[in-house]
Amino acid sequence: MKKRISTFFALILGISLLFSLTASANPAIVSYGGTYYNALSAGQGYAYILPNAKTTGTSVKITTNAANTLQLHYYWSYNNTTLDLGTAIVNNNTYFGGSAYYNPGTLITVVERVPGSTTAYPNVAYTISFN
């Protein structure tokens, strides 16, 4: 029970730290097979938390009307540790990405605006799904 409580506390702490690193990243708990809709303006971000993510890989599909305006930042949280898995720019209207790590854990995907893209596209809508 103590291990479960400490793991939960560490997950909450890790997620809190991730949100402090991103500009106004609101969280959403997501599941496999789900499709989620959102729109971001300058300085905004949105975090998607996928508990019990597959160690064999999670496919992330994002569709937007404006390429090169969004970026995905991946984090993996496990055993009181949060790893930064890197950033990818959504360079097509339909982008396939994703990530995994060899230890079971939680995949956190933060969608943010690409700096410098807000003048031409002040508000960008997108759809994201996890498989």
Give the range with max mean pLDDT: 1-5, 16-20, 56-60, 82-86: 82-86
Q: Which amino acid is at 58?
A: T
**For residue 91, is pLDDT > 80?**
yes
For the entire predicted model, the pTM comes to: 0.78
- Exposed, middle or buried: residue 129 (CB in 10 Å: 0-12, 13-18, 19+)? middle
Report pLDDT digits (tens) over 12-71.
Answer: 555 554 544 444 567 899 999 999 999 999 989 999 999 989 888 889 999 999 999 999
Concatenated DSSP letters of 106-128? EEEEEEEEPTT-TTT-SEEEEEE
Q: Which domains does the chain have, with CATH numbers?
A: 2-130 (2.60.120.380)
Closest CA to 110 of 46, 18, 38: 46
